[in-house]
């Protein structure tokens, strides 16, 4: 079992060692967000217009949610662009925290939008209005297909680089597809059921709001963890330990701590060496450990190695 885990970690280590610098990845992520922004602008305009003409409030609500996604994409784009800045005197560890902060802002915006749309949906349920037009269903079908395809495209990139902001942006697209699917069901029920079911699209909008709110909370959790410097998953720590142990002169690795800063990782390592060697030799071993770790994973921005006598 351990050999399989080691082989898996080795594959991950090989893949990560070939990844481009985090600043380049952040810029690529920003382009993903910008592309999503353009798609959201187009879909929001189409859905709001179609909902107004076709008497489908759920489609208007869906369009408003897409319009709010535009703001979310702008925040994600800005956060990734800012996170790509190099370290400076006031930010010696870089600007990576801008990425989870952007994700939190977007998640809070998603939750607030869900509450606002839910209030309006409840009002619409009790107001008399025309039934939705059948052709509005075509708009929703196109939206679901486009948004689901965009989600799968962006989430793969976000998972590859372990970017909280990019994954948040991807889930935005999935939520939009979910709300559009709920709208499709609501409008279909309103069309099939006649006058007695004319408010079905408003009920569908209310269900969509619950889904949006729940997922807003879900998106905020990992971003808060990152802001609070929660320890990353065990794979990177195991990989760092293995690389450090492979350096000549290292007897043992006592402690290994890592924290995520945007797309980068900062590592603190306690390495045990022969207690009889000179300070100069210990210093050289520390340099070799740091170089080996950074070469094995391009996401490791810095390694602080503490040398102590092995027990």
What structural domains does the chain harbor?
19-227 (1.20.1510.10), 234-309 (3.30.70.1350)
Q: How far is residue 186's CA from residue 203's CA, in Å, rounded to a whole number?
A: 7
Q: Pick the closest to residue 143 from 99, 187, 104 (CA basis).
A: 187
- What's the N-to-C CA distance of the chain in angstroms? 29
pTM of the model: 0.61
3-state secondary structure of 98: helix
Contact predicate 206/179, CB 8 Å: no
Q: Which residues contact 124 (CB under 8 A, 6 or more apart)?
A: 57, 199, 202, 205
Determine how many CB atoms are found less than 10 A away from the CB of residue 157: 17
Rounded distance between C-alpha atoms, residue 284 and residue 222, angstroms: 38
Residue 258, beta-bridge partner list: 267
Q: Which residues pair with 250 in a beta bridge?
A: 273
Query: How does pLDDT run along the chain (311 residues), one tens digit per residue?
Result: 444 444 444 443 444 344 445 556 666 666 766 777 788 788 888 888 888 888 776 677 777 777 777 777 778 777 877 877 888 888 888 888 888 888 888 888 878 877 877 887 777 777 666 667 788 888 889 888 988 888 888 888 877 777 777 777 788 788 778 778 877 887 788 778 766 776 776 777 787 778 778 877 877 888 888 888 777 766 788 889 999 999 999 999 988 888 888 778 889 999 999 988 999 999 999 999 999 999 988 888 889 999 999 86
């Amino acid at each position: 079992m351990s050999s399989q885990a080691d082989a898996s970690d080795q594959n991950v280590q090989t893949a990560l060692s070939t990844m481009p610098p985090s600043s380049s990845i952040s810029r690529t992520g920003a382009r993903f967000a910008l592309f999503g922004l353009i798609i959201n602008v187009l879909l929001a305009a189409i859905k709001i217009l179609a909902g107004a003409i076709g008497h489908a409030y759920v489609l208007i609500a869906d369009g408003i949610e897409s319009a709010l996604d535009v703001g979310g994409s702008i925040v994600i784009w800005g956060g990734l662009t800012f996170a790509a800045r190099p370290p400076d005197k006031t930010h010696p560890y870089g600007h990576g925290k801008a990425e989870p902060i952007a994700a939190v802002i977007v998640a809070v915006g998603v939750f607030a939008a869900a509450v606002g749309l839910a209030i309006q949906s409840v009002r619409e349920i009790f107001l008399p209005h025309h039934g939705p037009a059948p052709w509005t269903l075509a708009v929703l079908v196109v939206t679901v297909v486009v948004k689901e395809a965009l989600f799968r495209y962006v989430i793969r990139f976000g998972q590859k680089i372990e970017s909280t902001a990019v994954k948040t942006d991807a889930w935005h697209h999935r939520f939009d597809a979910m709300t559009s699917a709920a709208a499709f069901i609501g409008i279909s029920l309103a069309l099939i059921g006649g006058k007695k079911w004319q408010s079905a699209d408003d009920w569908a909008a209310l269900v969509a709001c619950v889904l949006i709110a729940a997922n807003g909370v879900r998106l905020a959790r990992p971003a808060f963890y990152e802001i609070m410097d929660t320890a990353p998953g065990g794979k990177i720590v195991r990989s760092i330990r293995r690389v450090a142990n492979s350096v000549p002169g290292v007897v043992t690795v006592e402690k290994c701590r890592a924290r995520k800063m945007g797309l980068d990782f900062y590592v603190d390592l306690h390495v045990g060496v022969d207690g009889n060697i000179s300070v100069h030799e210990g210093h050289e071993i520390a340099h070799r450990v740091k170089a080996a770790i950074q070469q094995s994973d391009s996401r490791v921005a810095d390694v602080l190695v503490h040398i102590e006598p092995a027990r």
